[in-house]
Structure 1
Amino acid sequence: MEKTEILESAKMRPKIYLFGDSITEESFSDDGWGAALTNHFARTADVVLRGYSGYNTRWAKKVLEKVFPAELNDGVGRAPLAVTVFFGANDACLPDRYAAFQHVPIDEYKQNLTHIVSYLKNRWSSTHIILMTPPPIDEAKRLLHPYNENPSNLPERTNEVAGNYAKACVAVAGECDVPVIDLWTRMQQYDDWRKAYLRDGLHLTRGGNKIVFDQVIGKLGEVGLSLETLPADLPYFNSIDPNDPLKAFEV
């Protein structure tokens, strides 16, 4: 890399990574929570999508070095401002239902989450890591949206089991001393959560995406990452002197 390229790369906008399963992968769709984050931080940070539909923590642990390759930590670019880690919905698939191949036992789920957090902390000591629990499950609606043959005619997930994984995620956050967003609990504070927040019993409606966005923005603010604390990468239009516009771009 040429010296000028190194200097320019060091000036790149800071980044916020979204690492998770399909609820993260879909977050850049219309009204998605990731797209909303991108819009929110439009002049201050780049939001980078790393969502992988169907993945559990066992698979996420296996691909960490591919998702976050060594060149992201080469001493030139900045460490990410934050990484959201949003897994558990697939780990919580039941071991005796049609999605059993995605199931990860809850003790292993906790170990895998701990490993992911430790990996990211060791890579970037200044990066804020935010864990996110799986959302609640509408079992009746899951029966209407199987993604494989379902001979048992039973949902591949249950809300009770998802809740156990959510509690495990919260416990890992406490043990690792990182922030956590408990979506399983938060969404169920509203009586109409099934219809309002879940379009297929698992993935998010527009309202569900709004809740996730609000929770992420709130948690980022708690760790000091907000529009008030992050500088814009170039001068805002209304700060440019109309009598001497180019002065704003002098280094």
Structure 2
Amino acid sequence: MRPKIFLFGDSITEESFGDGGWGASLANLLRRKADVVLRGYSGYNTRWALKVAEKVFPTAECGGESPPVAVTVFFGANDACLPERCSAFQHVPLLEYKQNLRSLVSFLKNRWPETCIILITPPPIDEEARLRYPYIENTTGLPERTNDASGSYAKACVDVAEECGIAAIDIWTKMQQIESWRAECLWDGLHLSRVGNKVVLEEVVKKLKEQGIDVEKNLAVDLPLIENIDQNDPLKAFDGI
């Protein structure tokens, strides 16, 4: 069986299999080497993610998957919604967010002790664009998210990864190193443009490599490649399979 990599997160993960998305690009990069399995849930925060984790990742006894080589956990953009604004129902307080991430990491480690877990921070926020693209009716004239709040959750995510001894990708910081990141990396002030998706893809591939999962070298292609099949005796390549 091919190894699997699960992508677990909110809309930024759910939409990652769209045209130019980081999940689709990762799947393309790993074609015939690993299966990239999408588990993205638009609008979810870490509180809701904990509620559904058992259903998302059932045990082997309940028809669950074999242990994946890696799982990305990409939550925080919704947790960071401000509690007094229009998306308050998605808000999770910072300290609870940290505890929820710890619980998710503990859940995954208990299920699959050898699996590489990578936390990904929420992205930066373009507050003006959020006013132009509200998810629900916003009569306050104020964005439901701010970049400062997202930054606090990003730092908390990195802190939890360090505390748990696992990898983290700080997308919030990485994207803001790009000139004109608001227009370049985001299309609605929150969700990723093609450039933003490329940034996430590059960081995920880099982090996998750091964790010993080199997508170009140590993940073998399954079954014979066409160039390795003898034109005069094609079936020979399948002996012993």
What TM-score, normalized to structure 2? 0.96
Corresponding residue for residue 44 of structure 1: 33
Candidates 8, 17, 36, aligned match of 1:28: 17
Corresponding residue for residue 185 of structure 1: 173
Corresponding residue for residue 91 of structure 1: 79
What SS does structure 2 have at the residue aligned with 1:48? Answer: strand
Residue pair 2:118, 2:166 contacting (<8 A) in 1 also = yes
Q: How many residues matched?
A: 239
Counterparts of 1:206 and 1:181 in 2: how far apart (Å)? 18
Shift of 1:243: 2.9
Counterparts of 1:118 and 1:235 in 2: how far apart (Å)? 38
Q: Does 1:236 align with 2:225?
A: yes
Corresponding residue for residue 130 of structure 2: 142
Corresponding residue for residue 9 of structure 1: none
Counterparts of 1:85 and 1:41 in 2: how far apart (Å)? 19
Opposite residue 116 of structure 1, the aligned amino acid is L
Q: Does 1:15 align with 2:4?
A: yes
Opposite residue 210 of structure 1, the aligned amino acid is K
Q: Does 1:162 align with 2:173?
A: no
Residue pair 1:56, 1:88 contacting (<8 A) in 2 also = yes
Candidates 74, 77, 89, aligned match of 1:101: 89
What TM-score, normalized to structure 1? 0.92
Corresponding residue for residue 250 of structure 1: 239
Residue pair 2:81, 2:91 contacting (<8 A) in 1 also = yes
Counterparts of 1:30 and 1:135 in 2: how far apart (Å)? 19
Give CA-to-partner distance per residue, 1:39-79, whole Å, 9 cap, x none.
0000100000000000000000110001001138879x631
Counting aligned pairs with the same residue, the percent is 65
Residue pair 2:60, 2:66 contacting (<8 A) in 1 also = no
What SS does structure 2 have at the residue aligned with 1:202? Answer: coil
Shift of 1:142: 0.2
Counterparts of 1:108 and 1:74 in 2: how far apart (Å)? 31
* Runs of 5+ unmatched residues, structure 2: none
What SS does structure 2 have at the residue aligned with 1:63? Answer: helix
Residue pair 1:73, 1:123 contacting (<8 A) in 2 also = no
Corresponding residue for residue 197 of structure 1: 185
Report the aligned-residue RMSD: 1.3
Counterparts of 2:61 and 2:75 in 1: how far apart (Å)? 22
What SS does structure 2 have at the residue aligned with 1:175? Answer: helix
Opposite residue 127 of structure 1, the aligned amino acid is T
Q: Does 1:133 align with 2:144?
A: no
Corresponding residue for residue 66 of structure 1: 55
Residue pair 2:59, 2:111 contacting (<8 A) in 1 also = no
Matches within 5 A, 1:71-82: 71=60, 78-82=66-70
What SS does structure 1 have at the residue aligned with 2:27? Answer: helix
Counterparts of 1:21 and 1:50 in 2: how far apart (Å)? 9
* Runs of 5+ unmatched residues, structure 1: 1-11
Opposite residue 24 of structure 1, the aligned amino acid is T
- Return closer, same or farther for 1:130/1:72 CA change in 2, 3 Å cut-off: farther
Give CA-to-partner distance per residue, 1:170-210, whole Å, 9 cap, x none.
00000011100000000000121000000000000011001
Give CA-to-partner distance per residue, 1:8-63, whole Å, 9 cap, x none.
xxxx2111000000000000000000000110000100000000000000000110
Q: Does 1:173 align with 2:155?
A: no
Candidates 207, 210, 235, aligned match of 1:222: 210
Corresponding residue for residue 7 of structure 1: none
Counterparts of 2:61 and 2:52 in 1: how far apart (Å)? 15
Opposite residue 176 of structure 1, the aligned amino acid is C
